[in-house]
Amino acid sequence: MKTALEIIQEHAEEGAKLRRSFLADCAPVLDAAARCMARSLAHGGKILVCGNGGSAADAQHMTGELLGRFLMERPSLPAVALNVDTSTLTAVGNDYGYEEVFARQVSGLGRPGDVLVAFSTSGGSANVIKAIEAARGKGMAVVGLTGKGGGRMASMCDHLLNVPHSHTPLIQEMHEACMHLLCQLIDHYLFENVQALSEGPKGA
């Protein structure tokens, strides 16, 4: 049986190794996703975010950083966490089923040019998949944060940040790092390096 200190050390070492390799490998995708989101905001769009459980907390965290501020003083940026309205969640869940709780909101709130940020450690959460399908129907771009190979989301996202690990807590820690970097890069492109928004690969 491992001791408590061994458990802590093992988690720290595995997390540090994953953080270094994942962020190095996914840097181009992070940059492309941030440009996509910044372009949407620059043209009057908004960011919709969804997830379940710990991923719901990540969704709320992200919209809080965008609506409030991250590191710099700047205008509030339009963002909605689709998991926070309990009346809507319970009404839609009761009337249409839990799989529709995010999709129904995307259908009502989403517009062409908006961006959906979808968190799912498995890449297979049914209500997140439905939300992505609804976003596609609205002409929205999709940024996905997944793990474990990406599941069904792997082929559905414009920008996929898949953490190559099977341990949910470490996947969520990497998602948190990605979320922070996306917020920092959005600010960078909107308020520090606006010219760069017209550069980069098509669709980035």
Q: Is there a contact between 47 and 202 (Cβ–Cβ < 8 Å)?
A: no
CB neighbour list of residue 32: distance below 8 Å, 6 or more residues apart: 159, 200, 201, 204
CB neighbour list of residue 105: distance below 8 Å, 6 or more residues apart: 48, 80, 82, 85, 88, 92, 131
Quick one: pLDDT at residue 65? 98
- Longest distance between any two alpha carbons in the chain, whole Å: 56
Confidence class of residue 202 from pLDDT cuts 50, 70 and 90? very low
**Neighbour tally for 147: CB within 10 Å:** 24
Confidence class of residue 128 from pLDDT cuts 50, 70 and 90? very high
| pLDDT, tens only, 165-195 | 999 999 999 999 999 999 999 999 999 988 8
Q: Give the residue ranges of DSSP H helices in the chain.
A: 4-42, 54-67, 86-96, 103-109, 126-137, 168-187
| pLDDT, tens only, 11-60 | 999 999 999 999 999 999 999 999 999 999 999 999 999 999 999 999 99
Does the structure show a pLDDT above 90 at 201?
no
Q: Which two tokens stand for residue 129?
A: 């998949």
| pLDDT, tens only, 56-76 | 999 999 999 999 999 999 999
| C-alpha closest to that of 86 among 106, 124, 114, 56 | 56
Positive or negative, the Cα torsion across 177, 173, 118, 110?
Answer: negative
Positive or negative, the Cα torsion across 61, 84, 97, 117?
Answer: negative
| pLDDT, tens only, 101-121 | 999 999 999 999 999 999 999
4-198 fold: Rossmann fold (3.40.50)
Quick one: pLDDT at residue 135? 98
* Phi and psi angles of residue 30, each rounded to the nearest 5 degrees, phi first: -60, -45
Does the structure show a pLDDT above 70 at 88?
yes
Quick one: pLDDT at residue 198? 75
- Rounded mean pLDDT of the chain? 95
Q: Which amino acid is it at 117?
A: V
pTM for this model (two decimals): 0.94
Which sequence spans correspond to the domains of the chain? Answer: 4-198
Q: Which residues of 18-34 are buried (b: 16+ CB within 10 A; e: fewer)?
A: beeebeeebeebbbbbb
Does the structure show a pLDDT above 60 at 90?
yes
Does the structure show a pLDDT above 60 at 204?
no
Q: Which residues of 50-89 are buried (b: 16+ CB within 10 A; e: fewer)?
A: bbbebbbbbbbbbbebbeeebeeeeeebbbbbbbeeeebb
User: Rounded mean pLDDT of 136-159?
Assistant: 96
Quick one: pLDDT at residue 197? 81
